[in-house]
Chain A
Amino acid sequence: GQQVMQIPQYQHVQEGEDFTTYCNSSTTLSNIQWYKQRPGGHPVFLIQLVKSGEVKKQKRLTFQFGEAKKNSSLHITATQTTDVGTYFCAPGRGQFYFGTGTSLTVIP
């Protein structure tokens, strides 16, 4: 199956700072999805990226898919305490596999 690594594994930021998590694959991906899991909760779909170089925005969240379709990133501008959680990327169609996740802690 398609395996991806996410970095960093953990990130602590002060509220208002920016945050970025990266998802890297050794193989070309057909598409990639991002999910957020709040502490004690279940993963919730955020977005899907399909095209090379694609950039999508959702309010303070910006998602990018690399030109070679081997990496992706999620950037949060001016983090808020509601952004706390673990962010997972999930490559391919069917989303059989999830990345290792980045756990975000926001310090008020």
Chain B
Amino acid sequence: SQKIEQNSEALNIQEGKTATLTCNYTNYSPAYLQWYRQDPGRGPVFLLLIRENEKEKRKERLKVTFDTTLKQSLFHITASQPADSATYLCALETGNAGKSTFGDGTTLTVKP
């Protein structure tokens, strides 16, 4: 069956360190993978997209890698700040219809 797994429900790191979040999937052939940020009581907000033929994408302090052989994406936040504390969701989109499937998210807490 199809499955998306994001690493441990919670990740705690110290301010200034790099946070690395993992998204693993099975039995999917995604056209692309997206990362979203969700704050309590709010809807998810799009951060980055990476296509199946891309290895890496960067945006300011964010970096995403995509390994279709390992069926894994890594999401990095460098020089993390307390304001980066949130839940981060990965989403796979497959097929021409653009159906998205979300993981359950990883809650990141950055401590000052």
Partners in one complex: no
